[in-house]
Each structure stands twice: as C-alpha cells, then as structure tokens.
C-alpha cells in the first residue's frame, strides 16, 4: 500500500433511479490549494497543437476541444490533425468549421520508416516548424508501440524547434486492469503505486515507452507526461474498435425497437461487473485534462503520469444502467443471475446477431450507418467488458486536481453527451 493512499471514495446510494437531468456534481469537501487556484499559464507565443491519431476515439475529442478553444480563447493559433486513413467531408463536419484546422492523412507510424515519416511530415504539414504541443494518440499493436513512438517523437523533435510539450495516452491498463483474473492493485488506483509486477508488466509496452521517453527527453527544452483513463466514453463519426459506448448504445436501441418503450431490460453482463466500481472517462474530459497538463508544464516534473476521468466519484453498472436505459425509454434492471464472471443473458454482440432481421429493419427505417457491432475484448472472449471486469478499479484523481485542473462532470452527463452525438450523426435512432 502506498503511503497516504485514500480509502474508497464515498458515493451516493446506488439503488435510486437517476434521471438523465442529473446536475453537475460539485464536491463540497474538495480541498482547495494554492496550486488548484492557478490557471494554465498564458503562453508567450502562439500555440500550435499537433494531434497524432486524430481520427481515433480520443483524437476526435482532442481536435474538438482545441477548436472550441479549451481552456480559453487566444491560446491555440493553429491545430493540425494527422491520420492514417483520410476523413471524408461528413466526418469532418462534426467538428467546428475553423480555418485554423489542418488535416493530413496517409501517415503510418507502424509501416513508415523514420526517413519516410520525416519526409511526409516535413512536406505535408504547413507550419511544422511552429508546433508547440504534441498529443500522441496513435493506436498501434503493443509489439509495435515503442518503435512507432520512437520514430514519431524523433522526427517531431527534429522538425519542431519550438516544441514545448508531448502528451502520451496510456490508460489504467498500466495498473493491470486488463488482466482481469490476476488484478491485485489496491484501490483507489494511485499514480504512486509500485510498477506492475512481472510477468504482467512484460506483456504491456508502457514501462518501455516511459523509459525511452525519459532517456530521449533528457536535456531537451520540452517536457512530457502520460495520462491514464479507464473506459473511454465518447463519440466518433466512423467505426472504431475502441468505442466502448457504441455496442451498448446499439444494443439498447434494438432492444427498445423490438420490445417497445417502457420494457424492462436486464443488464447483459455478470453480477460481479454489475457491482464493481470504476471511473468512466469521457473523451472530452480526457482531452481537457491532457490539454490543461500540457499548458501547465511549469508545475510538472518531466515524465509524470496522471489519472484522468470525468468525475472523482466512481460508479458501478448498478448505478449507471438505469440512467442509460432511461435515455432509451427502457427500465434498466439487474442481471438475471448472480454469477461473478458470466451470465446467461446474451451480450450486446450476440443479441444483435440473434435479431439480425430486426436490426437490418431498424437500420433501414431510421437511415442509420449500420456499423458492425463488436465489443472490445482483451482475451478474445465475447462480452469481456461486461462479464470479466468484475473488480473495483476506481482511480485517485488528487494528483491531477492538484495541478489546478478542476473541470468535472457527472458520469451520466458523459454518457448522455456521447449518446446524443451518436443520435445526431445517425449512428443510433
């Protein structure tokens, strides 16, 4: 146990049906320190943000927040997004129309050599010499993670003399939450916990990434940090394998379509997951916290890790299921069985397969995009997230808050914003 580790964060009674009109949560007992009162410092020069992986579930939100001038107008002079696959006109339209935005596609951080990457970034990116802040959100296989990061950072360091900060996104996997059957860390998960033990640490890239960044950044004029969100709840106008909310949203859409408004909908997961506490991380809130940290480098030591989430108050599926179901006009009820790691109830993917004709009819009737539904899985099993994540994994946000970051929203707001964006984009009815 790390010295000073907080006990589990208290939370409100879990059994009340919470309306989606939940007000913004304000934690009355939060301590306010001198650091917390500090705002992100004004930059003496115009800032140019480079988002690598701009078409991912996190990258989309980063571009969105930057174009909405977070944390305030006058900071971001230019915003550049880099993707492997180009975004079409409709996909781009969900961001604000803004002349500051530059999008470049065809950049492959896995397949391209360092020389090729330097040629592409140097020739295709207008104003490459003015980059000040880099948000590295590239999704690559773990076995390629270090090489991809090394190439990207080496090239950018060479091309961008005004570089001030590099942000990397890790996640709570750094604590071993992906190893559901072997998870052993005490909660709330704190950045000060000892590194994950072997053999699990050897199966993840994070320690190697941090080690390389520490060595490469030594003596450089810029700093770097990494952030650690848990489940990312967000919107993306294209299919994405990391979109946790989409399979659940499509499942509930189809369930309401078949069974009608007001129908009871059992939680399609295990009783263990139903009870487990965690902190959902809205993609917008991840972006806001990372942007704040990148502008607060005077408060940070180099290479620090920070937990990020929508709210410091954890919740469980027992709390969130009624809220989400209410938005779809359904009554969310507990799982039909009390097994810790399994359920007889079909998960979202299986339910949609079992009702393929109704699904096709719903997609056609509402003019939906009709993307494939495939829930993320860490061990290849179906419905992994709703059956195997049956342990408390809430995070301690005190370190992030101590930098002066005070933005917070209720977990319900995080989900409902994502659902409303999906509906407006014809992803769900």
- Say how far residue 121 (Cα) sits from the centre of its chain: 26
- Indicate if the pLDDT at residue 2 is higher than 70: no
Residue corresponding to tokens 């946790």: 244
pLDDT in tens, 3-19: 222 222 333 333 333 33
Please give the pLDDT value at position 241. 87
Residue 372, in any domain of the structure: no
Convert 94-114 to b/e letters by CB count within 10 Å (16 or more is b): bbeeeeebbbbeebebeebee
Residue 57, in any domain of the structure: yes
The per-residue pLDDT of the chain, averaged, comes to 90
Residue 264, in any domain of the structure: no
Residue 79, in any domain of the structure: yes
- Indicate if the pLDDT at residue 38 is higher than 60: no
What's the CATH code of the domain at 181?
3.40.50.720
The structural domain count of the chain equals 1
Residue 383, in any domain of the structure: no
Residue 368, in any domain of the structure: no
- Indicate if the pLDDT at residue 147 is higher than 60: yes
Residue 215, in any domain of the structure: yes
- Indicate if the pLDDT at residue 22 is higher than 80: no
Q: Which residues span the domain enclosing 56?
A: 34-235+280-313+393-408
CB neighbour list of residue 124: distance below 8 Å, 6 or more residues apart: 104, 106, 107
Residue corresponding to tokens 């690598």: 52
Residue 151, in any domain of the structure: yes
Please give the pLDDT value at position 88. 96
- Say how far residue 28 (Cα) sits from the centre of its chain: 26
Please give the pLDDT value at position 36. 35
pLDDT in tens, 237-250: 999 988 999 999 99
Tokens of 205: 């890239």
Please give the pLDDT value at position 9. 31
């Amino acid at each position: 146990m790390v010295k000073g580790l907080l006990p589990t964060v208290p939370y409100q009674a879990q059994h009340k049906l919470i309306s989606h009109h939940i007000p913004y949560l304000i934690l009355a007992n939060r301590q306010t320190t001198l650091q917390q009162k500090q705002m992100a410092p004004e930059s003496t020069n115009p800032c140019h943000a480079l988002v690598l992986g701009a078409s991912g579930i996190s990258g989309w939100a980063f571009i969105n927040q930057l174009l909405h001038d977070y944390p305030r107008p006058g900071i971001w002079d230019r915003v550049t997004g880099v993707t492997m696959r180009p975004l079409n006109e409709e996909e781009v339209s969900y961001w604000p129309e803004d002349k500051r935005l530059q999008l470049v596609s065809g950049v492959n951080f896995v397949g391209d050599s360092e020389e090729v990457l330097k040629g592409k970034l140097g020739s295709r990116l207008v104003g490459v010499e003015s980059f000040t802040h880099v948000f590295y959100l590239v999704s690559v296989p773990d076995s390629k993670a270090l090489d991809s990061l090394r190439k990207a950072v080496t090239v950018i360091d060479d091309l961008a003399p005004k570089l001030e900060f590099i942000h990397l996104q890790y996640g709570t996997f750094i604590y071993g939450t992906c190893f559901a059957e072997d998870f052993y860390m005490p909660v709330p998960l704190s950045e000060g916990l000892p590194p994950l033990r072997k053999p699990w640490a050897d199966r993840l890239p994070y320690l190697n990434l941090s080690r390389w960044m520490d060595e490469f950044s030594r003596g450089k004029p810029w700093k770097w940090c990494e952030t650690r969100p848990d489940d990312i709840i967000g919107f993306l106008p294209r299919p994405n394998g990391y979109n946790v909310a989409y399979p659940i949203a499509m499942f509930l859409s189809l369930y309401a379509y078949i069974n009608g408004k007001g129908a009871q909908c059992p939680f399609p997961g295990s009783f263990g997951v139903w009870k487990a506490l965690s902190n959902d991380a809205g993609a917008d809130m991840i972006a806001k916290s990372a942007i704040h940290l990148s502008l607060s480098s005077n408060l940070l030591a180099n290479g620090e890790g920070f937990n990020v989430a929508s709210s410091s108050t954890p919740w469980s599926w027992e709390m969130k299921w009624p809220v989400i179901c209410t938005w779809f006009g359904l009554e969310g009820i507990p799982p039909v069985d009390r097994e810790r790691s399994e359920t007889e109830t079909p998960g979202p993917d299986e339910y949609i397969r079992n009702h393929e004709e109704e699904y096709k009819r719903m997609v056609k009737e509402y003019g939906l995009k009709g993307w494939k539904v495939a829930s993320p899985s860490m061990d290849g099993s179906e419905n992994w997230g709703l059956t195997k994540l049956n342990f408390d994994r809430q995070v301690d946000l005190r370190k992030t808050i101590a930098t002066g970051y005070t933005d917070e929203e209720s977990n319900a707001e995080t989900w409902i914003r994502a659902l409303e964006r999906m509906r407006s984009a014809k992803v769900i009815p």
